[in-house]
Amino acid sequence: MPRNLQTRKNINKKRVEMTKLEEKAKADLEGAKRYLERAKENLVIASELSSLLPHEILNIDWYIIRKNDTDKYYLETGILDNKIADKYIKILKLVGVQQITSRFKSYQNKWYYKGIMAVNGKEVEIMIDGGSKPPACRIEEQKEWKEVITYKAICKETEEEVK
């Protein structure tokens, strides 16, 4: 064994404290293990949904699939055109998704729809990001005045602004 390697091993044996670098690497490893477990759970629910939902719904560009609680999952689509989103919402109603309600994103002036489906004793909340304005609703424009604060840096030596 090369002397350098042997010396390093001896040094490492004497050291009991973990360095910040080692702590960071260990925390990253633990995070990756948790992420892998969540990904495995997501794959299980995706497989279960694949046997219940039509092919058209399964092939939406999904943005998020995650486990929220012990037996609760959340699915969210990417942003969809209103006509396409309306078509998917209609299909979800036909396959038994319950409590589909509309919600409004005021910061985007856009609608989205959420519903709940039971899958093998688990609750799955499905969110379709897009859709037409419900007939009973109207949109009113609101203007808010906000104060904007900006800062500039000035060097003491030259009293000039640093850009």
Longest dimension (CA), the chain: 80
Query: Which pTM does this prediction carry?
Result: 0.72
Give the residue ranges of DSSP H helices in 2-143. Answer: 3-14, 20-50, 55-58, 82-94
The series of mean pLDDT values per 10 residues for the chain, 163 residues long, is 54 72 96 95 92 93 88 92 95 94 86 93 94 83 72 71 65
| pLDDT one-digit tens code per residue, 72-118 | 999 999 999 999 999 999 999 999 999 999 988 877 888 999 999 99
Q: How far apart are CA 81 and CA 131, in angstroms?
A: 7
Cβ-proximal residues to 160 (8 Å cutoff; 6+ apart), any chain: 154
Q: Which long-range contacts (CB under 8 A, 24 or more apart) does 141-144 make?
A: 142/106
113 - beta bridge partners? 102, 128
Give domain limits for the chain: 19-136
In angstroms, how far is CA 145 from the centroid of its own chain? 31
Given phi > 0 = left and psi -120 to 50 = alpha, else beta, which region is 82?
alpha
